[in-house]
Amino acid sequence: MAHKSDLIATDIEAYLKAHEEKTLLRFLTCGSVDDGKSTLIGRMLYESKMIFEDQLAALESDSKKVGTQGEDIDFALLVDGLASEREQGITIDVAYRFFSTDRRKFIVADTPGHEQYTRNMATGASTADLAIILVDARKGVLTQTKRHSFIVSLLGIRNVVLAINKMDLVGYSQETYDKIVADYREFATHLGKDGEIPFEIMPMPVSALKGDNIVEKSAGMEWFDGPTLLEYLETVPVQQAQLEKPFRMPVQWVNRPNLDFRGFCGQIATGVVKVGDQIKALPSAKESKVKSIVTMDGNLEEAIAGQSVTLTLEDEIDISRGDVISEAKRPAEVANQFETTILWMAEDAMLPGRTYIIKTGTIMAQATVAEPKYKVNVNTLEQLPAKKLDLNEIGECNLHLDRRIAFDPYDDNRDTGSFILIDRLTNATVGCGMIRFALRRSSNIHWQSVDVSKQARSKMKGQRPAVLWFTGLSGSGKSTIANLIEKKLSSIGRHTYLLDGDNVRHGLNKDLGFTDADRVENIRRVSEVARLMADAGLITLVSFISPFRSERRMARQLMDEGEFLEIFVDTPLDIAEERDVKGLYKKARAGEIKNFTGIDSPYEPPLDPEIRVNTVEMTAEEAADAIIVELEKRGILEG
């Protein structure tokens, strides 16, 4: 006969195994400040731990308690602990917490309620299956309630618990509860198309502090016949929706340990894949069949959303990191231009024309942002005109990528329709967004091949194409030096063109002002012109203040390797202002010119320019001669 302790150990092992196999629900709590989010989370963590320990204790046939780690939780201390985190400033980030009951595992994103932390709420919502939106029963639906609800609908969350909290402070009044629910439903009709509410609403009267309708039914609210909060969270369906979507697996890396094995590794985003299934690799559109599904625990006949697997295929087709393996009959789309919705998350504004790194799935590319079509007033849902997006603002913007990528519209698939934007200089995440659809021009416009190449044009001119990019403060001497260099090059038979900042603003860029957004667009247009001139085989001299490193880097990346030379005309502000040939500094100091570089608009000097000249230490003629010598050393003047 087996020993009693062996039976207990076997039962516990079986229970823990079942715990591992439970479904997982990701949800977030949000709402206005002091609506009770921390208290609610504390109550659920406390109650769920009690449930979990009771189940383990029930496996004992004697009075000895088993399976418990640590002392029992004191609910008041737990809530105080959550509050102390906020006092220490941890609300700047999203706090993720894990708990479990006998039916399901949970990951809850505890997001701050303050308006300035809206970006953090969006971060928590981006991976959530469900949102608990808390409303203080004494205050009703507030502005922040509306803001968070809008973001929830925007990010595609389809299940919302409207938790009317602190019902004990309004005498458990059903009338108060019914009015808040009616107000919220009326507001929610404005979130969807044609008056449809974009998510399922489960209204629930609770008192997080007292525990009413959290785990146990409330004796004070017998009029409410719905489930408790935990009952609802345990039973709301989530995973099935992911399984019903078409199969998608972004390729994370290609595993080829030997010539006999080539596997494509990644986590299945949506759908189901089986051995023998016909798949399509995107963006190449090559097709094959699944030969095997390999995991650390052995081969599988099928795998589902959420699993990390390695797929081998029957055919040798070219697939790289960032590609998406799709169901062949219902493949993802491919494009490089999109209409998107962007939530801006950085202190520095999103400027149209600026290039950022976009990351979607496992691929990273260069993305240029167009001027917003509009931004949304999240308090009124009104669409407002906008030139840029500031911190926590949401707007509709077109994106242009430097390559075609596989995607699904966000409304169809959150996993393959979402992205983040990264600053190219700091590597900080500055925005998150949703792809709405591909622009028609993305598929209608194709690159036209021509027979006469850049190399052929350069050979005819007896030189190598180059872009000499002069940057520095107004009055530093950029235009003077560039003009001298062009004269010297012309005298020895070289083919050149000078793009000067003032001259270009008389024509191509006459519609632009001097705001940061206009400066970015100014440089974007000039960079594209310079690229075309380099393609023509010319030595192009660009003389622009170009105050931002990001735009100068963007210009560099448009050119071929070794073609772009950044020339920093390094003149201190006091010297440039002393010269003031055009009288601009005097006007800027008098307030007659706004957004003047060096006065009330920043200048970011180059960190590592190819050439640096100091016009305090040398004359313009000497600087021009020094640059010509450097061009000769680099072989640019040779045919």
Rounded to whole angstroms, the Cα distance separating 465 from 494 reads 10
| CA Rg value for the chain | 31
What is the pairing mode between strands 539-543 and 466-471? parallel
CB 38 within 8 A of CB 84: no
Token representation of residue 195: 């008056």
Token representation of residue 78: 């737990």
CB 29 within 8 A of CB 134: yes
C-alpha distances in Å from residue 554, one per residue of 217, 425, 557: 60, 11, 5
Rounded to whole angstroms, the Cα distance separating 218 from 224 reads 9
Rounded to whole angstroms, the Cα distance separating 342 from 336 reads 17
Alpha helices in 126-278 (DSSP H): 143-154, 174-188, 229-235, 239-244
DSSP 8-state class, residue 481: H
For 598-635, letters b (16+ CB in 10 Å) and e give bbebebeebeebbbebebeeeebeebbeebbebbeeee
The alpha carbon dihedral of 570, 575, 580, 581 has a sign of negative
Q: Catalytic one among 207, 418, 543, 546?
A: 546
Residue 514: CB atoms within 10 A of its CB come to: 16
The closest alpha carbon to 249, from 434, 403, 415, belongs to 415
The question of whether 458 is a catalytic residue gets the answer: no
Token representation of residue 125: 């919502």
The closest alpha carbon to 527, from 494, 496, 495, 550, belongs to 550
Rounded to whole angstroms, the Cα distance separating 407 from 470 reads 40
CB 541 within 8 A of CB 564: no
The closest alpha carbon to 569, from 470, 638, 475, 494, belongs to 470
C-alpha distances in Å from residue 378, one per residue of 149, 150, 523: 9, 7, 32
131 torsion bin: left (phi>0), alpha (psi -120 to 50), beta (else): beta
The closest alpha carbon to 145, from 166, 164, 129, belongs to 164
Rounded to whole angstroms, the Cα distance separating 530 from 560 reads 12
Interior CA angle at 601 toward 600 and 606, to 5°? 135
Maximum distance among all Cα pairs of the chain, rounded to whole angstroms: 105
Where do we find the tokens 């007896």? 462
Return the active site residues: 546
